Structure 1
Amino acid sequence: MTDAPTPQSNEPAHDPEVLELAQKIFELARNGDTDTVAAYVDAGVPVNLTNDKGDSLVMLAAYHGHAAVVRALLDRGADPDKPNDKGQMPIAGAVFKGEDEVVRVLLEGGADPRAGEPSAVETARMFEKTKLLELFGETA
């Protein structure tokens, strides 16, 4: 009788260099380095890459007010409605942070202001952002 082969795990390898690169790209999105983020995505980094909290590059750029990075990612096929692990959407984060230009870019990119918990609409109501409610086609 021979020993059965050990089943291979479906877990991705946690190569320290890959993790370090991913952390660098998340930082670039947070800091608004549009050209470098776009270059990494163009070179093969997944446009919907997420960190350990489920925050996508779009989420990080949106939350930190970098409309140009958000636009570059959306132009490369990023999902404008990719929730993080808490069910939060990039557009709701932008509403919360008062990043109106980012909100507009996300809407143009197809983001749903009614998706997520809380949604962008709910967040705008909570913080009495009537201009954004109007933009979403809602009443205050």
Structure 2
Amino acid sequence: MTDIETQMPSPERLQELLFAAARMGRDDIIPDLLRAGADIEGRDARGYTALILASYKGQESTTGLLLSLGAHVDAGDSERGNTALMGISFKGYPAIARVLLAGGADVNARNAVGQTALMTAVLFNQAEIIDLLVEAGADPAVADLNGNTVVTLARMQGHHHLAARFGA
């Protein structure tokens, strides 16, 4: 083994560092971590990819960087299959929604229970995200595995203005 090899962090540590860098928006070190062997599609203990972590933590430039480096825009988390777009639809980050949509995010991708990013945005009354998703072609008629559509979900949450917007 060379001196460099004995000084390199373990693959597990490299992956942990990538997740931390994604959460903190450390665009300066992400390319180096990937070159050193971190997996851009690796998953943390909760099943999140670096892209999901960056977007959910509001790291707009890091979200764009990870996409430019090959992160799969529609990769879902391991537990529920929620994509980065679904996560920011809950949090309400329109700038990141634009980055993900420009990166090719499927606005009608569905998680493990059949919900879409639009459904998530409606549940949490994220008006600007709703507008962006609709403009990008989100289908309000999609039903989840329980038969709920955005209209049903809007009514359940008391968002009657959204139920009216989508046809009821």
TM-score, scaled relative to structure 2: 0.67
Shift of 1:57: 0.6
| Equivalences, count | 125
Shift of 1:32: 0.8
Alignment match of 1:114 (pick from 108, 123, 128)? 108
Shift of 1:41: 2.2
Shift of 1:130: 2.6
The secondary structure found in structure 1 opposite 2:77 is coil
User: What stretches of structure 1 of length at least 5 have no aligned partner?
Assistant: 1-15
1:69 aligns with 2:66: no
1:36 aligns with 2:33: no
1:55 aligns with 2:52: no
Partner Cα distance (1:47, 1:128) in 2:
32
Equivalent position of 2:16 in the other structure? 23
> What's the RMSD between the two structures over aligned residues?
1.9
Shift of 1:111: 0.7
Equivalent position of 1:91 in the other structure? 85
**Letter paired with 1:64:** K
Contact 1:49–1:56 (CA under 8 A) maintained in structure 2:
yes
Contact 2:21–2:29 (CA under 8 A) maintained in structure 1:
yes
TM-score, scaled relative to structure 1: 0.79
Alignment match of 1:133 (pick from 122, 130, 134)? 130
Partner Cα distance (2:63, 2:95) in 1:
10
* CA deviation vs aligned residue, 1:81-131 (integer Å, no higher than 9, x gap): 000112111111111112111111000001112213332110111122232
Structure of higher RCO (CA pairs closer than 8 Å, 6+ residues apart): 1
* CA deviation vs aligned residue, 1:36-70 (integer Å, no higher than 9, x gap): 11332244432222223321110000100001111
